[in-house]
């Protein structure tokens, strides 16, 4: 009886959702001014919506049926729920691969949301979404070349490998050699992206709006606005090329002390268009490939330190931030100058790839975000609340905002211990995070609705960097938080110097700067003592 009831519920859900979603898609398509685009949407949207609906209904039924009658908190329920999580994650994975494009990007993002979704989803998406993306055929690649540059790759380049070395959600990369002998990487946009991007945007919009109308607490309409704004920029490779050059220019001008340690491939502008990007070829190891990094004579902790410093500079000083720093977009190589550490190890250089998704933080947002991280590092409860409220979290959810940023409960966030934010990366911590994610899901959804979209992208960046640190260090390190504390604090002081005009106010800032140096020195000494203790205890 129960099974039949659940099957009827599933059937009604599928039929109702399909009708509603298809109707919404039709409304979206009807507004299109381009008849050809409208026709393509009419064929692509229903297919995608059907897949979405079937997958959603299948997952919902699996949870309802599998957990039926199992006591909350029991060992058996926990075991079954784990199995359902795995099955459901694989269904979502399959959906992302079938639909491609934006769905793969959403799957990649899902793989970073440890504070929101079960561990099984996080692991499944992380393992597959970065290196198993669909590949365009060589004929399709030639089609793009003819349209963009008027010739096939074999005419434009001296050599061109038809087999891509990497494929991502929006494009794939081929190795080539120019007629003057330079080895290059050629990024070619998937031929279907122009059409499916519009269809994907329409389906995601309809799905999110439908879910919100059925479940008001599920309000992810901000995702629609973000896709609508960021996707056209990511699909224009000339924007990406300009972003890469602006990023390096910011390091040269605003962070000259580490400019030599951060690099982006040079662009061959004469061989680049909005759908083709030809860049200098980069050799090195992906940032999560610890074994290869060590074979290059580089220490993983040096890489973690460099990654943290580079992105802290971008967030707190430049206000121009690479918002997609997952492992596939970060390469490590030995510093070309050959400089070595005190221990004789080679110094790393961080190579940033895929500059399609950047966000600019205005002065006020950058100042408040830096001040918030300063308060987090130094366990300043009042500063955390004040700056979280300024950024939009509200007086009721500021503690949750701090917890999402640090992946720590409030009592640890305000703990004065120097290592209070260090993530161990063990099973107990992961279990605790999952418990909080489940317990506070409605509040997390509300917080994500409130925060400005630029801060949501900072959260995504933060999630990616945490994942990178986890690979390099099996958690996080005190050095990472020392760097974040130092750069954010210095950025706050620099901002205050620009704002204060009177002699008295400048003296206040000078005193604050002196006190900051004392606190940072204390933190540095604590860091040295911690290293010494570890060395002595083996």
Q: Spell 345-357 as b/e; 16+ CB within 10 A means b.
A: bbbbbbbbbbbbb
Tokens 């793989």 map to which residue? 111
Distance between first and last Cα of the chain: 62
Q: What contacts 352, CB < 8 A, 6 or more positions away?
A: 244, 247, 262, 263, 264, 310, 322, 325, 329, 330
Tokens 């609508």 map to which residue? 228
DSSP H/E element including 72: none
Tokens 């389906």 map to which residue? 203
d(CA 237, CA 278): 10
Helices (H), 67-101: 75-99
d(CA 29, CA 41): 6
Bridge partners, 171 (sequence order): 189
d(CA 305, CA 229): 32
d(CA 340, CA 324): 29
| Cα distances (angstroms) measured from residue 417 to each of 358, 374, 420, 421, 512 | 34, 15, 5, 9, 22
Selected catalytic residue, list 52, 200, 289, 324? 324
- 225 catalytic, yes or no? no
DSSP H/E element including 271: none
The DSSP symbol for 265 reads P
d(CA 366, CA 372): 10
d(CA 536, CA 164): 49
Rounded to 10 degrees, the C-alpha dihedral 208/214/219/221 comes to 30
d(CA 97, CA 48): 12
**Which residues are the active-site residues?**
324
């Amino acid at each position: 009886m129960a099974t039949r009831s659940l099957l009827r519920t599933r059937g009604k859900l599928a039929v109702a959702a399909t009708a509603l979603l298809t109707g919404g898609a039709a409304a979206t398509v009807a507004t299109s001014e381009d008849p050809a685009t409208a026709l393509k949407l009419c064929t692509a949207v229903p297919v995608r919506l059907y897949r979405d609906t079937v997958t959603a209904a299948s997952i919902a039924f699996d949870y309802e049926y599998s957990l039926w009658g199992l006591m909350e908190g029991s060992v058996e329920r926990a075991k079954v729920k784990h199995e359902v999580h795995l099955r459901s994650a694989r269904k979502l994975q399959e959906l992302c691969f079938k639909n491609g494009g934006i769905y793969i990007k959403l799957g990649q993002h899902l793989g970073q949301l440890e504070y929101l979704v079960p561990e099984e989803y996080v692991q499944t998406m992380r393992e597959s979404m970065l290196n198993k993306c669909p590949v365009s055929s060589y004929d399709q690649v030639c089609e793009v070349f003819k349209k963009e540059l008027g010739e096939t790759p074999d005419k434009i380049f001296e050599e061109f490998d038809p087999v891509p070395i990497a494929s991502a959600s929006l494009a794939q990369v081929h190795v080539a050699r120019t007629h003057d002998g330079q080895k290059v990487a050629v990024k070619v946009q998937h031929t279907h992206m122009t059409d499916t991007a519009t269809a994907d945007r329409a389906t995601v919009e309809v799905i999110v709006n439908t879910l919100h109308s059925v479940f008001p607490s599920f309000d992810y309409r901000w995702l629609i606005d973000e896709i609508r704004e960021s996707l056209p920029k990511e699909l224009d490779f000339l924007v990406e090329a300009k972003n890469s050059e602006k990023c390096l220019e910011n390091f040269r001008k605003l962070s000259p002390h580490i400019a030599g340690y951060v690099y982006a491939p040079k662009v061959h502008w004469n061989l680049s268009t909005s759908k083709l990007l030809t860049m200098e070829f980069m050799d090195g190891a992906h940032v999560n490939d610890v074994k290869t990094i060590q074979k290059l004579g580089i220490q993983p902790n040096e890489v973690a330190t460099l990654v943290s410093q580079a992105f802290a500079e971008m967030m707190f000083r430049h206000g121009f931030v690479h918002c997609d720093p997952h492992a596939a977009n970060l390469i490590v190589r030995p510093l070309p100058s050959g400089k070595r550490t005190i221990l004789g190890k080679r110094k790393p250089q961080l190579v940033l790839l895929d500059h399609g998704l950047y966000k600019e933080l205005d002065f006020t947002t950058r100042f408040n975000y830096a001040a918030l991280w300063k308060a987090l590092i130094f366990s300043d409860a009042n500063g955390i609340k004040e700056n979280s409220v300024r950024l939009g979290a509200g007086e009721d959810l500021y503690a949750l905002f701090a917890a999402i940023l640090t992946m720590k409960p409030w009592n640890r966030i305000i703990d004065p211990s120097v290592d209070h934010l260090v993530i161990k990366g063990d099973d107990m911590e992961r279990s605790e995070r999952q418990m909080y994610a489940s317990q506070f899901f409605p509040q997390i959804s509300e917080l994500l609705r409130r925060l400005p979209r630029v801060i949501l992208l900072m959260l995504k960046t933060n999630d990616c960097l945490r994942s990178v640190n986890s690979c390099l260090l099996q958690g996080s390190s005190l050095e990472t938080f020392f760097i974040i504390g130092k750069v954010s604090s210095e950025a706050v002081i620099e901002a205050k110097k620009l704002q204060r005009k009177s002699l008295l106010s400048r003296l206040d800032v000078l005193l604050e700067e002196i006190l900051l140096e004392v606190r940072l020195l204390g933190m540095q000494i604590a860091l040295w003592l911690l290293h010494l203790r570890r060395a002595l205890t083996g």
